[in-house]
Structure 1
Amino acid sequence: MPSISYDDLETAFNCVCGSVQFDNSAYISKTTGEIFHASQTYDSDENLPEDCEDESLYWSVPHKNELDLGRDLVLQFVDGFLPEQYDAVQAIFHKRGAYGRFKDLLLHQGKLEEWFEYESTHTKKTLLAWAQEHQIDVKQGE
């Protein structure tokens, strides 16, 4: 079982989620734990193994939407912390620029810091569960 640091896993995850789904990718070697990044928008393929999409050799780091950490997490937060804004937030997410408008709403409601903490906590919990499911040993604080 390969071992990686949580910081490296989080960095790979943020790389994958840093643009629209499927534009960026990250792969973890099942033998070494080494992480490789690929992007459709910038040249990052120089160190990318040719066989990185071979699921028997590499895990593909998931996008936040695959782990229900996108819109679903937003709505879960709103349901628990701002239930009176649920319909408004749902409407926000039917248009482009939704996250910016959502964060503006949170700022006006005094809930922006709570959202960041909620998102961070749920992301970490979910990433660690994903890693455990794939038998990846994640070292904390390294």
Structure 2
Amino acid sequence: MRTNVNLNELRDAMEWVSAADAAALDCDAYVCKETGKNYWAGEGVEEEFPEDIDDGSLYVSVPHKHDFRLGRSLAIRFAQEYVSNLLQATQECFRRRKAYAVLKSMLARTGQLEAWYQCESHAIDNALREWCEEQGFNPC
């Protein structure tokens, strides 16, 4: 039997691990293979980890957003599928610093920012569902 994992809680945990300052704050998150419960660690988190959190047979580390390749490649796919007239400009965004800020600014100016957020959200949910399947979880 597969363990249920709340997809919204898993998404929050992934966002925690993927936060821009997560490395500096030592942000980690794990999912219990038996219960599906999320455990978070980092500055400001009061919850204590179970003593056996490092046991890979009992807990699995929540992946970083980059592990799903949802950055540049997703933005390029979005441009190809939804705003092909912005494909070259989208590619150029990723040749600069602060690529996402530049991308979001461009999409806001062209009225496509909400479509981007929906595309990104859908891709994250799909990636998390696939990850759950690979880990033996049932996303719900």
TM range (shorter): 0.7 to 0.9
User: Normalising by the residue count of structure 2, what TM-score does the alignment of the two structures yield?
Assistant: 0.84
Once the two structures are TM-superposed, the CA of residue 53 in structure 1 deviates from its matched residue by: 3.2
SS in 2 for 1:47: coil
Q: Deviations over 1:51-91 (max 9, x none)?
A: 32332221111111111112221111112222232232222
RMSD over equivalenced CA pairs, Å? 2.0
Matched ranges for 1:88-107 at <5 A: 88-107=89-108
Once the two structures are TM-superposed, the CA of residue 17 in structure 1 deviates from its matched residue by: 1.9
Instruction: Report if the CA contact (8 A) 1:29-1:59 is conserved.
Output: yes
2:91 matches 1:65 = no
* Residue in structure 2 matched with residue 31 of structure 1 by the alignment: 34
Q: Identity percentage over the alignment?
A: 33
Distance in structure 2 (CA, Å) of the matches to 1:29 and 1:79: 38
Unaligned runs of 5+ in 1: none
Distance in structure 2 (CA, Å) of the matches to 1:49 and 1:74: 38
What is the total number of aligned residue pairs between the two structures? 137
Could you tell which deviates more after superposition, 20-29 or 99-108?
20-29
Distance in structure 1 (CA, Å) of the matches to 2:68 and 2:74: 9
Q: Deviations over 1:90-130 (max 9, x none)?
A: 22223332111111100111111111111111111121111
SS in 1 for 2:39: strand
SS in 1 for 2:20: coil
Judged with a 3 Å threshold, the aligned counterparts in structure 2 of structure 1 residues 31 and 69 are, in CA distance, closer, same or farther, namely same
User: Normalising by the residue count of structure 1, what TM-score does the alignment of the two structures yield?
Assistant: 0.83
Unaligned runs of 5+ in 2: none
Distance in structure 1 (CA, Å) of the matches to 2:74 and 2:53: 30
Once the two structures are TM-superposed, the CA of residue 21 in structure 1 deviates from its matched residue by: 6.8
* Residue in structure 2 matched with residue 119 of structure 1 by the alignment: 120
Once the two structures are TM-superposed, the CA of residue 46 in structure 1 deviates from its matched residue by: 4.9
Judged with a 3 Å threshold, the aligned counterparts in structure 2 of structure 1 residues 90 and 57 are, in CA distance, closer, same or farther, namely same
Instruction: Report if the CA contact (8 A) 1:21-1:63 is conserved.
Output: no
